[in-house]
Amino acid sequence: MAEHPDTPDFAPLDSLLHEERVFRPLPETLAAALVSPARLRQAREQAEADPLAFWEEAAEELDWFGRWDQVLDDASPPFYRWFPGGRCNIVYNALDRHIQTAAKNRLALIWEGEPGDCRTLTYYELFRHVNRFANALKSLGVRKGDRVVLYMPSLPETVIAMLAVAKIGAVHSLVFAGYSAKALKDRIDDARAVCVITVDGFYRNGRVLQLKQVLDDALLLGGHAPETVVVCHRAHVDVEMQDGRDYWYEELVRAERPQCPCEVMDSNDMLFVLYTSGATGKPKGIVHTHGGYMVGVSRTFRWVFDINPTDIYWCTADLGWITGHSYAVYGPLMAGATTVLYEGHPLYPQADRLWSTIARYGVTILYTVPTLIRMLMRFGKELPRKHDLSTLRLLGSVGEPLNPEAWVWLHKHIGRQQCPLLDTWWQTETGMIMVSPLPASLLKPGSVTRPLPGIVADVVDAAGAPVPPDKGGLLVIKTPWPAMLAGIYNDPDRYVEEYWSVIPGAYLTGDVARKDEDGYLWMQGRADDVLVIAGHRIGAAELESGLVSHKAVAEAAVVGVPDAIRGEVAKAFVILAEGYEPASALIKELKAHLKRELGPVAVLGAMEFPASLPKTRSGKIVRRILKARERGEEVGDVTGVEE
Ligand code: WTA
């Protein structure tokens, strides 16, 4: 979701945050790791010497219907084509091939509804459901290349629908179930969807949200009209069904056969379009394809999460985000793992839902987001202590900078100081994890460590020159990678302009980062959120991290506001921890704390204590809105932001 940062005068950033703590992997972690330090070193060397051979080897771990002509066609950058000529279908790797192995009777899915109902599906059961629905979609006239919008919460049927659509060669586009009718309509229009799949209603925070009703409202807004609508039962609320357009899922699948072969796709045929959550403006349809995506996701899932057959893996991301696509569905299923899915609000009915769910299913790997961790920290360490979390062996984080305090809390109180904590950096556009430790890596709290083997990332200034160690700069990716986006749906010019024009020859992530002497990367936030205080360029993330390291602060957002003398000063929006009240003594204390933590440059101007912060539905703070309000400017597109 990189929006054009204002880069022409982009100078290196000053870095204020210095974190000295390091955590070495335990001997038993090293002994058990799928990728040992020696193997990792060898992989880095191999990937550096011959990146195409490195990725070709990863491709060979998967099943193909026909071999590729070449690993990478780079004849017309930035329109790179991975494994051109290769014949495949990601669903074959996620399902069909397991049916011939011991994975057949293993649990593919453990699903829990918000009210506490639970459903499980083995690989064989999931396979049959997918085949039935794939056949039903064909009966409805859905063809290879057609776009199908899924307006659904995290349900087994959502996974079934994703896989069924992809199996017949159509293109899925998930729209997060919290989006409004207008946001949904914009996406249906842009994708020109032939079919929309939804549910009658679902449970969220103790309420039933009537999704079919929102879809009806969206379709009344005019624009592109899908030919068919499929509705699954979930909350059993009354809905209106339009004759000849709307069909019940259960009725459609009843008559269908549980066999359906995979459509043979070219590597570069579209798999899905996913609209980015709009933290920085107008949503765009990010396109991913079958071949490169499956190779990149499969390899990174196995290596980073170190998966083995006894794992119960839980990625808390909603299926409507890229994390849900790559690491709740495709990655785990390609690995034959058991993936946990939860329908509702993470704090419902009580703040310990996450911990009780881990205990209930014996979750071994938890992949979640910083905003949730910080929220749960507010409730204290006693809450997780009431539950048996001893099954956990790996923790992962994604989506925002994980500040050192939250990192250490998670590592200590949830991970018993034994579970490696993997802070993974990537984007909707990258499709797969790009920068991350592996379980056997040396960890520094707050750092995403180093690019994975095969990924060439760097920190540069506006001219594309590397910045010295410990200065911040633009994070760029210098060579293509398999799961990279194929482009923006129906907008090739915007793709070139936004990602490939600022630093010639490199992919612009839109994030700022610094690299330390060991080559470890420290994310400093979005380039658009950089503050300029008395000539110093500082990433918002560092100031926020400094604030939340104080025990009174649960969450903080910092933006720059114009200042006659310093150019800009930092203004902080602070959510206090339980038991603290805004008071002038506390404000003074927080300002002093920030200077102590980050040095004299970290001058804080005003402070506000709002009831909540504007966030995207995936939990990222939208500083753009706070900034615009401060400056009395138009806020712009706020679709997908909740407060
Ligand atoms: C941010 C989510 C710091 C970053 C997979 C990126 C992170 C954007 C991290 C992509 C991390 C993601 N540390 N920041 N570990 N991971 N981000 O497209 O700004 O929803 O550009 O993909 O999230 O968000 P998206």
Collapsed DSSP state (helix, strand, coil) of residue 576 = strand
* Residues forming CATH 3.40.50.980 domain(s) in the chain: 127-270
401 Cα to the center of ligand 1, angstroms: 8
Over residues 591-595, the mean pLDDT reads 90
Q: Is the pLDDT of residue 59 over 70?
A: yes
Helices and strands (H, E) in the chain, number of each type: 20, 32
Q: Which two tokens stand for residue 491?
A: 């907008």
448 lines ligand 1 (CB under 6 A): yes
323 lines ligand 1 (CB under 6 A): yes
Q: How many CA atoms lie within 13 A of 322 on its CB side?
A: 26
Q: Is the pLDDT of residue 548 over 80?
A: yes
Report how far apart, in Å, the C-alpha atoms of 297 and of each of 50, 92, 163, 191, 380 are.
20, 15, 16, 24, 35
> Confidence class of residue 643 from pLDDT cuts 50, 70 and 90?
low
* Residues forming CATH 3.30.300.30 domain(s) in the chain: 534-642
Q: Is residue 549 a contact partner of residue 616, using CB atoms and an 8 Å limit?
A: no
pLDDT on residue 596: 86
> Confidence class of residue 389 from pLDDT cuts 50, 70 and 90?
very high
User: Which residue in this structure is represented by tokens 């009537």?
Assistant: 210
> Assign residue 278 a region: left if phi > 0, alpha if psi is -120 to 50, beta otherwise?
left
Q: Is the pLDDT of residue 600 over 90?
A: no
Residue nearest to atom 22 of ligand 1 (CA): 427
234 lines ligand 1 (CB under 6 A): no
Q: How many CA atoms lie within 13 A of 522 on its CB side?
A: 28
Min mean pLDDT across 199-208, 318-327, 488-497, 539-548 is at: 539-548
276 lines ligand 1 (CB under 6 A): yes
Collapsed DSSP state (helix, strand, coil) of residue 310 = coil
Over residues 451-464, the mean pLDDT reads 96
What number of residues does the chain have?
Answer: 643
Instruction: Pick from 327, 368, 511 the residue to mutate for probing ligand 1's pocket: most ligand atoms within 8 Å of its CB.
Output: 511
pLDDT on residue 433: 98
212 Cα to the center of ligand 1, angstroms: 31
Nearest-atom index, ligand 1, CA of 523: 3
Nearest-atom index, ligand 1, CA of 397: 15
Q: Considering the chain, what percentage of its residues have pLDDT values greater than 70?
A: 96
pLDDT on residue 618: 81
What burial letters (b/e) apply to 562-580, b meaning 16+ CB within 10 Å? eeeebebbbbbbbbbbeeb
467-476 pLDDT, tens digit per residue, is: 998 899 999 9
pLDDT on residue 639: 64
Residue 267 DSSP symbol: T
432 lines ligand 1 (CB under 6 A): no
Q: Is residue 609 a contact partner of residue 574, using CB atoms and an 8 Å limit?
A: yes
**Mean of the per-residue pLDDT values for the chain?**
93
Min mean pLDDT across 3-12, 577-586, 601-610, 625-634 is at: 3-12
Residue nearest to atom 3 of ligand 1 (CA): 401
277-305 pLDDT, tens digit per residue, is: 654 556 799 999 999 999 999 999 999 99
Domain 127-270 has CATH 3.60.21.10: no
Min mean pLDDT across 50-64, 330-344, 579-593 is at: 579-593
Nearest-atom index, ligand 1, CA of 616: 20
Collapsed DSSP state (helix, strand, coil) of residue 609 = coil
User: Which residue in this structure is represented by tokens 């985000």?
Assistant: 321
Q: Which amino acid is at 37?
A: P
Instruction: Pick from 276, 284, 400 the residue to mutate for probing ligand 1's pocket: most ligand atoms within 8 Å of its CB.
Output: 400
Report how far apart, in Å, the C-alpha atoms of 227 and of each of 44, 196, 270, 412 are.
49, 9, 21, 53
Residue nearest to atom 11 of ligand 1 (CA): 425
212-255 pLDDT, tens digit per residue, is: 999 999 999 999 999 999 999 999 999 999 999 999 999 999 99
pLDDT on residue 638: 67
Strands 285-289 and 270-275 come out as antiparallel
pLDDT on residue 224: 95
Q: Is the pLDDT of residue 640 over 50?
A: yes
284 lines ligand 1 (CB under 6 A): no
Q: Is residue 258 a contact partner of residue 162, using CB atoms and an 8 Å limit?
A: no
Residue nearest to atom 8 of ligand 1 (CA): 427
427 lines ligand 1 (CB under 6 A): yes
pLDDT on residue 195: 98
Q: Considering the chain, what percentage of its residues have pLDDT values greater than 90?
A: 82
Q: Which two tokens stand for residue 245?
A: 């357009």
User: Which residue in this structure is represented by tokens 């160690």?
Assistant: 469
328 lines ligand 1 (CB under 6 A): no
120-162 pLDDT, tens digit per residue, is: 999 999 999 999 999 999 999 999 999 999 999 999 999 999 9
Higher confidence at residue 4 or residue 443?
Answer: 443
Options 3.30.365.10, 3.30.300.30, 3.90.420.10, 3.20.20.140; CATH for 534-642 is 3.30.300.30
Min mean pLDDT across 350-364, 366-380, 413-427, 526-540 is at: 526-540
pLDDT on residue 559: 93
Residue 114 DSSP symbol: T
**Partners of residue 459 on adjacent β-strands:** 475
Which of 528, 553, 550, 551 lies closest to 539, judged by CA?
A: 528
**End-to-end CA, the chain:** 20
371 Cα to the center of ligand 1, angstroms: 12
66 φ, ψ to 5°? -160, 140
Over residues 335-352, the mean pLDDT reads 96
pLDDT on residue 2: 39
